[in-house]
Amino acid sequence: MATEDLVKHIGMNETFSRRGFLKGAAALSIAHSVSAMAETSEGDSRKGRTFAYAGCYTGAVGDGSNGKGIYLFEMDPHTGALSLLKLAAEAASPSWLSLDPSGRYLYAANEITNFDGTNGSVSAYAVDRTSGDLRLINTVSSEGGGPAYLTTDADGKYVFVANYAGGSIAVFPILADGSLGRACDVHRDSGLVGSTTPTNAPPGSFAWSGHDAPHAHMILADPKNRFVLHTDLGQDRIYVHRFDQSKGKLSPAATPFISLPTGDGPRHLAFHPNSRWLYSIQEEASTLTFFHYDPSTGSLAPQQTISTLPSRFTGTSFASGVRVSADGRFLYAANRLHDTIAVFSIESDGSLKYLGEVSTMGDYPNQFNIDPSGRFLYACNRKSDVITAFSIDRDTGLLTFTGHYTPVGSASCIVFAG
């Protein structure tokens, strides 16, 4: 594929000045990367390469339509730069991606509402560990509209899916060839929804989205694979389920859910490496809540709530992602509209201390991720069609922009395979 075709594939657009600047810089970078690839010998060693897969919106859901599917990049371990290899899979809004524990299979949540009626879909891909290429294995209904998140269990036997538009969660068995079987369990959230006015939003906020109905937003197994937790943004709840690993069935834990302040909108969760601390980010309130987690019962006990925004901030912002560093010393949170990554230290008791923030150098960070080495953080700026790279100071946790812009149309998600 020619360089100009690759640029077209990832949705370059020079009509808006801010986006034009970001994409212009990215276009020069990507053209150089593609040229360099052409000069690389096919016989070069493939060992030690770090691949990155970026998912996007293709227009079926959301306000962006510049993406084409799943893009494959190679990461430079020294500079953090991403070099585009190819459009690895053309797909409809693969907005969330997850690799199985073995790294042999990649699963994509296709955030659509027109598969098999009004459902979204989930696709399974085989990963070529040498080239990074993807081969589609199969696609199944997600058993709800607009799947916004998926992940596998710790053993790589099941895929869990949260259907945002459908307000449901589903469990899918992973078969011997990596394909997905039909859902072995489906739960639909029911009951009252929260206020359209967040309890803990910053002064002057007009954030109110997502409280018209139940909206399952994230789902994951706990580190011991005994319980599965999922957030419902519309209900302001974190649900806890017992997980039957032999059957792939979920049942309510002793305390089936915990409620957060009405209207705040819990979106994503992150466990600390010690498995006993859990952090929840609230989308409409732009807050983080720290919980003590009991791995024997799945119970959650709130300890602290802190804003993801600087104390001087007033107005509207929507928090998105949250991640804990592999060493458990720092936590990162993304703010959309404010367009920053906030940095927190994790104190000896698990509480959070705000250290500051850095601009994402783009617009509307939908998700971010840290590479396997822990040296770089990548922000997916959905509305400016670019992924930006930051170096991480391992001593302070603070971020520094590397100067690398990687164009991806309506970028939503990035995952890494070493």
pLDDT, tens digit (0-9, with 9 covering 90-100), for 42-57: 333 345 899 999 999 9
The string of DSSP letters for 287-305 reads EEEEEEE-TTT--EEEEEE
What integer pLDDT is reported at residue 48 of this predicted model? 80
Tokens read off for 252: 């309510």
How far is the first Cα of the chain from the last one, in angstroms, to the nearest whole number? 25
Sheet holding 82-90, edge to edge: 82-90, 69-75, 50-56, 411-417
pLDDT bucket at 208, cuts 50 / 70 / 90: confident
What is this structure's pTM? 0.89
What integer pLDDT is reported at residue 24 of this predicted model? 45
- The alpha carbons of the chain give a radius of gyration, in whole angstroms, of 20
Domains along the sequence of the chain with CATH: 3-39+48-417 (2.130.10.10)
State the Cα–Cα distance between residues 218 and 183, nearest whole angstrom: 17
Checking if the pLDDT of 278 tops 90, the result is yes
What integer pLDDT is reported at residue 63 of this predicted model? 55
What integer pLDDT is reported at residue 182 of this predicted model? 96
State the Cα–Cα distance between residues 326 and 416, nearest whole angstrom: 14
Per-residue pLDDT tens digits for 333-348: 999 999 999 999 999 9
Average pLDDT over residues 164-187: 98
